Amino acid sequence: MSVNKYVEDALKGEHGEAERIAAKVLMAISKASKSEGFIKITSAHISGVNYYNIGDAGLELLNDISKVARFAVPTSINPCGAPVLENDATFSKELVEKQRVIYNAFMKMGAKNSCTCVPYDGLNVPKKGEHVSWAESSAVVYGNSVMGIYTNKEGGISALAAAILGFTPNYGMHLDENRKPQKVIRLSFEIKGAVQFGALGYFIGKLTKEIVGIKGIRTANKEELKALSASVGTYGPQPMFVIEPETKDAEVITLEENQLKEALSKINDDVQPQAIVLGCPLLSVEEMKKLAYLVQGKHFNLPAYVFVDRISFSKLADEEKEALADSGLKIYFDICPSLSYLPETFGYTSVVSNSAKHYFYTKHQSKINVRLMDVEEIVDKYVKMNV
Ligand code: F3S
């Protein structure tokens, strides 16, 4: 059966009520975006999981739809606003209960049982060239730009509908002709570390709405590409960037070191932090291994909260887990550190992080000052040898 015939039948209710509603939602998007029909997807990732983002109305909608809907493709979900699988009295009982209702609704529909904004770290990993429907801007930008998958920057509802139907409208980032950069940034110096890559993302987001190519990145590890992706997804509308594009016709803009410093100054408050927050996006196994190595035999002298992907954490060696626990940091699973009112919950009024995205959301949600430093610098400054 052709893709479009399947969607037409779904619209008539021939595949059940949940698929009829999903097809209706996606058909409206297809018409508005003048899509070239529909395309089959191999994966979905849904945002709009955090109770703080969707409230009681979202909770009720998900609860209702979970009675009839089942996911047609491997589907992962974004982090929550409170722990759902561990008991932690720091978070209000009412919030935890509501968050659990949302989590359970997703589980009933067949979502993978870990909440993460880095599905590509082992939970939900499409292959290069596959078409998917992902919400969560940092993962979308990373997926398109680093993994070579094809996804639009979906919203929670469109990704939910696509997860149920198994198809998505074929437009935007699903078409090769739309994935070419219109502008190219040529770096005149070497950039390094999550903070500088985050500042580059800020610069790109403020520069243009178009897809940007980047030339002159000599080396970039996964942590740096994650930071760049999260920042581009936060400060700009672009669903991707292109490293070392071949485009000859694009306008080329040279980025000087002082311009990057200027960009960084816009997302970096000169403040004495009262706490450390790492994990926006949630930390990968590589980042946690590095952190475990850096803090071995040492102890944080500021409250330190670390947000990790459960699957990635399970891949750590026992001695790495011990080094992290002995350093005094507190590890959280399944929670978004940037949209969960952590300053109010934990009682701090300034924070240091390595994430440009954490800067944006914490600043806007909790109105506190945020300092940006790379993990090595944070450890250097706020971790002391055990005596
Ligand atoms: Fe993830 Fe929350 Fe940051 S969903 S990317 S930790 S804002």
CA atoms within 13 A on the CB side of 284: 15
Regarding the beta carbon of 117 and ligand 1, being less than 6 Å apart is answered yes
Q: Can you list the alpha helix ranges (DSSP code H) found in the chain?
A: 3-11, 17-32, 51-65, 93-109, 137-142, 156-165, 193-207, 222-235, 257-265, 285-295, 310-314, 318-326, 342-346, 356-366, 375-382
For residues 348 and 311, the answer to whether their CB atoms sit within 8 Å is no
Q: Mention every residue, 6+ apart, whose C-beta is less than 8 A from residue 380.
A: none
Atom of ligand 1 nearest to the CA of 79: 4
- % residues pLDDT > 90 (the chain): 95
> Which strand (E) or helix (H) includes residue 77?
strand 75-77
End-to-end CA distance of the chain: 69
Alpha carbon distance 163, 176 (integer Å)? 23
Distance 63 CA to ligand 1 centre (A): 23
> What tokens were used for 160?
């939910």
pLDDT in tens, 30-70: 999 999 999 999 999 999 999 999 999 999 999 999 999 99
Distance 78 CA to ligand 1 centre (A): 8
Regarding the beta carbon of 140 and ligand 1, being less than 6 Å apart is answered no
Q: Mention every residue, 6+ apart, whose C-beta is less than 8 A from residue 316.
A: 285, 288, 289, 292, 324
Mean pLDDT, range 332-336, rounded to an integer: 96
Q: What is the pLDDT of residue 387?
A: 62
Alpha carbon distance 226, 230 (integer Å)? 6
Instruction: Give the pLDDT band of residue 12 (cuts 50, 70, 90).
Output: very high
Regarding the beta carbon of 204 and ligand 1, being less than 6 Å apart is answered no
Level-2 CATH architecture, domain 3-175: 2-Layer Sandwich (3.30)
**Candidate from 234, 277, 280, 370 with most ligand 1 atoms within 8 A of CB, to mutate:** 280
Alpha carbon distance 122, 142 (integer Å)? 14
The identity of residue 198, as a single letter, is G
> What tokens were used for 346?
């934990």
Alpha carbon distance 280, 283 (integer Å)? 7
Mean pLDDT, range 378-387, rounded to an integer: 88
Nearest to 164 by CA among 37, 46, 33, 51: 46
Q: Is 244 left (phi over 0), alpha (psi -120 to 50) or beta?
A: left
**Candidate from 333, 342, 357 with most ligand 1 atoms within 8 A of CB, to mutate:** 357
Distance 138 CA to ligand 1 centre (A): 8
Number of CB atoms found within 10 A of residue 381's CB? 14
Indicate yes or no: pTM above 0.95.
yes
Alpha carbon distance 214, 323 (integer Å)? 37
Count of residues in the chain? 387
For residues 272 and 351, the answer to whether their CB atoms sit within 8 Å is no
Which residues on neighbouring strands pair with residue 243, listed in sequence order? Answer: 214
Q: What is the pLDDT of residue 1?
A: 57
The residue behind tokens 């919030």 is 95
Domain extent listing, the chain: 3-175, 180-265, 275-385
> Judging by beta carbons within 10 Å of its beta carbon (0-12, 13-18, 19+), is residue 181 exposed, middle or buried?
buried
The distance between the two most distant Cα atoms of the chain, rounded to a whole number of Å, is 71
Regarding the beta carbon of 295 and ligand 1, being less than 6 Å apart is answered no
Q: Is 297 left (phi over 0), alpha (psi -120 to 50) or beta?
A: left
Instruction: Give the pLDDT band of residue 326 (cuts 50, 70, 90).
Output: very high
**Residue 147 DSSP code:** I
> What tokens were used for 239?
């669903």
Regarding the beta carbon of 76 and ligand 1, being less than 6 Å apart is answered no
**Is the model's pLDDT at 386 over the cut of 80?**
no
Tell the CATH topology of 275-385: Rossmann fold (3.40.50)
Mean pLDDT, range 373-378, rounded to an integer: 98
Alpha carbon distance 81, 341 (integer Å)? 8
- How does the average pLDDT of the chain come out, rounded? 96
Instruction: Give the pLDDT band of residue 246 (cuts 50, 70, 90).
Output: confident
